[in-house]
Amino acid sequence: MRKDNKYNHAGPSAEDRALEKFAEMMIEKISTLQSDWKKPWFTEGALTWPKNLSGREYNGMNAMMLMMHCEKEGFKLPVFCTFDRVVGLNYGKDKEGGKVQLTDAEGNELPKVSINKGSKSIPVFITTFTCVDKETKEKIKYDDYKRLSEEEKAKYNVYPKLSVYNVFNVDQTNLKEARPELYHKLEEQNQQVRPQVAEGEEFSFKPVDHMIEHNEWICPIKPIHGDNAYYSISKKEIVIPEKSQFKDGESFYSNLFHEMAHSTGAEDQLDRLKPTSFGSKEYSTEELKAEMTAALVSQRYGMTKHLKEDSAAYLKGWLESLKEEPTFIKTILTDVKKASQMITQKVDAIQLQLNKGVDEGKSESQPEQPKLKNLGTFDIPEWSLNYLENGDATNLTDEEVANVDAFTKEHFPNGFVMNIDFENSTELNRYPAFGPRNEEALTSKGESPFLATKTYPVTFYDARERESKESSILSEAVAAKEPPKENEAQSIGHRFHR
């Protein structure tokens, strides 16, 4: 994803405009919830997780806004692309490196893909990092910095930079008419699959069940027979009513995600959560962060998240804060991004463990959980990792971007999730998975058609597999307005009716 001067303007003004846009979207969403707080954060049967045209998923902060944008505009696909990416669909390179319009198998020029007249883009944020040696002032790549020891890292200053890019939904282009096969493939990749729970069976999300049973979250999670769900700051534990006390299993998990979001703010974690009085502005702000995090995580795993009844009391305050100070949303979204990543990374890691057979025990009475299908391990060029992982094509040539896109399109048509093995790089790999062509290579003798380069082993997983709906859409447990019984200055929680 590259900046385009016509559509992207770096600097504070671009960031301010983007934050103002996000604030407007949140005001509209919260106003809708205020008029009917029983509505879910995202419409039941909403689209799958937002991605770019290459199948890379957007992060929590961008995903939240893009899902709201799709819902508001009625887009059929959660797929977005930059202006440059749309233009790039029309051209390739000839042998001399010149730009030529793409043709079909018969040599006829393909219809040009373009953005529909009058379409308006939506901003997304991408954070990049500049790592500078404190003494020599030499810069290194952030990926290289992450592989350093703690002692070596201390020698560098790391400067984050928040860049703004503008993207369009594919339904704002003529892609469906100009490239019907590609559009149809995107439709197949982004179907919301919803396996049903058979009558008499209890909804179950195995990774979280495993996490509770084996105490693998950052704090203990204690399902007990009671009326309160809360995170205790002083005890560093989550207490939640038993699953059977909720109206349905889906409500149990979405409420648990809310309390897990609170727990990420502990002093030894993100250090966000401080003891505060019930009803204070700080308490209200933390509730918004937990609600948005739970909504985002629930949506990722195919569950519906309704607003808690006691959280509904904060809607007015949330609206006032957003209207008075649009930058309020920046802190909210930043913390939501961090909290949601902590939760999804842990859940995904456990899911991978279970898929590898760490926990072979399966209850025949429960539906099989979705799996992250292993699509293979490839030697990926170092220069492409930032683009694959973050969508940032800064410093990449058009040819390099085209090489990456061709590789992902061929091997991962359903999108992907990637895991980089930073411990086993190859300094000069003569057989990278893709890259600039080596015109002198004797491919008939087994030589690689690509130029040698530094690579890392990267394992890819099918992103579509984990987007399956775990159950039919079910309503959430009803929450009462009373505060929890525990000392409110030492816990953040909620009381539930059965």
The C-alpha atoms of residue 305 and residue 302 are separated, in whole angstroms, by 10
* pLDDT greater than 60 at residue 359: no
- Residue 348 backbone zone (phi > 0: left; psi -120 to 50: alpha; other: beta): alpha
The pLDDT value recorded for residue 230 is 92
The pLDDT value recorded for residue 8 is 45
The pLDDT value recorded for residue 479 is 32
498 three-state secondary structure: coil
The C-alpha atoms of residue 168 and residue 52 are separated, in whole angstroms, by 10
- What's the pTM? 0.63
| Local confidence band at 10 (pLDDT 50, 70, 90 cut-offs) | very low
pLDDT in tens, 403-454: 898 898 888 887 777 888 777 778 787 888 898 887 777 776 667 788 888 8
The C-alpha atoms of residue 124 and residue 58 are separated, in whole angstroms, by 9
Lowest mean pLDDT among 46-55, 58-67, 248-257, 388-397: 388-397
pLDDT in tens, 294-308: 988 988 888 877 766
DSSP 467: G
pLDDT in tens, 405-415: 889 888 888 77
**Cα-based angle 324, 329, 330 (whole degrees, multiple of 5):** 125
* pLDDT greater than 70 at residue 493: no
The C-alpha atoms of residue 253 and residue 221 are separated, in whole angstroms, by 12
Amino acid at 262: H
Residue 318 near residue 288, CB atoms below 8 Å: yes
| Local confidence band at 277 (pLDDT 50, 70, 90 cut-offs) | low
Compare 170 and 311 and report the one with higher pLDDT: 170
Q: Which DSSP helix (H) or strand (E) runs through 406?
A: helix 398-411
Identify the top-confidence range among 129-133, 215-219, 325-329.
Answer: 215-219
Instruction: State how far the alpha carbon of 114 is from the alpha carbons of 120, 177, 404, 490, in Å.
Output: 13, 10, 22, 55
pLDDT more than 90, % of the chain:
26
Q: 257 is written with which tokens?
A: 């995600």
